[in-house]
Amino acid sequence: MADGERPIEEGVRTDFRSRMNYGGYLDLDKLLDAQHPVSEPVHPDELLFIIQHQTTELWFKLVLHELEAVRTQLQEGDISRARKGIARVKHIFRTLAEQWSVLATLTPSEYAEFRGFLGSASGFQSYQYRCVEFVLGNKNAGMLKVFEASPEHYGGLRSLLESPTVYDAFLRCLAARGHDVPAEILQRDVTKAWVEHPELVPVFTAIYEAPDAHWAEYAMCEDLVDLEDAFQFWRFRHLRTVQRTIGYKKGTGGSSGVGFLRRALDLTFFPELYSVRTEIGN
């Protein structure tokens, strides 16, 4: 054995002719063959751009998986398990926010050299991102038009449009625990985007002013605020990365670009959980 070589430990498997191996389990041949730059000649930085967005979509897949489980757990009254899922999603969005720093190494000049090859492809068309927004409450039936060319995606998004959100499930869970959530909110049209309901603020005020008596509910409220903060920070990092890379150009998908992303920062999933902070201690 050459100097400096580390010997393979006795017992380590090396023959995988009839065993599952790492690459096979993760389907790495398919995964690593999914990056296909379209620029001609191929720009060296296009691989970064593709991998950035593909890894984001992989994380979105997990986010959606976790949020749908959280919604089910809340519908079953299991706040403890739901909190674990929310914590995981929160950390995913923190990871995604930091990921923008990698794409930010792409300079405006470098991106301009291959941006034209993207055609009308845009993150605006991300099916999974829209699913995440819908399950959290930012619903917009008009977005279904973007996915009419894909019956599977169209049907999946319509199903989420017509289903309760995570917040709806939490409010129903609160009502089942004896909190005075107004009936009209529990029976709302879930196909509509959530808008602030001031009559909910006293419900949350009562929870926040007696955390020992309502610890599970109180902790879940804070978890949801953590989730929104992490999501909004990811949105902000997206905005800043786009601004430093293309300035105020229109998006490839036809949006206004930075202006469109800035308006998204005004959207909130759980507005009453922020409004209640004004009431606490008054």
- Find out whether 86 is annotated in a ligand binding site: no
CA nearest to 52, candidates 110, 116, 108, 95: 95
The residue type at 254: G
- Find out whether 49 is annotated in a ligand binding site: yes
Q: Is 75 left (phi over 0), alpha (psi -120 to 50) or beta?
A: alpha
- Find out whether 50 is annotated in a ligand binding site: yes
Q: Compute the radius of gyration of the chain from its Cα atoms.
A: 23
List of residues 6+ apart from 249 with CB closer than 8 A: 257
User: Six-digit token pair at 231?
Assistant: 């999501």
- Find out whether 53 is annotated in a ligand binding site: yes
The residue type at 257: G
Contact 179, 207 (CB under 8 A): yes
The conformation of residue 8, written as its DSSP 8-state character, comes to P
H helix count then E strand count, the chain: 13, 0
Give the C-alpha separation, 22 to 32, whole Å: 13
CA–CA–CA angle 195, 199, 202 (5° rounding): 125
Residue 117's alpha-carbon distances to 28, 56, 101, 122, 233, in angstroms, are 27, 21, 23, 12, 29
The position carrying tokens 């400096």 is: 4
- Find out whether 127 is annotated in a ligand binding site: no
User: Six-digit token pair at 100?
Assistant: 């923008």
Give the C-alpha separation, 123 to 187, whole Å: 33
Where is the binding site, in residues? Answer: 49-53, 111, 115, 238, 252
Where is the binding site for heme, in residues? Answer: 238
Where is the binding site for substrate, in residues? Answer: 49-53, 111, 115, 252
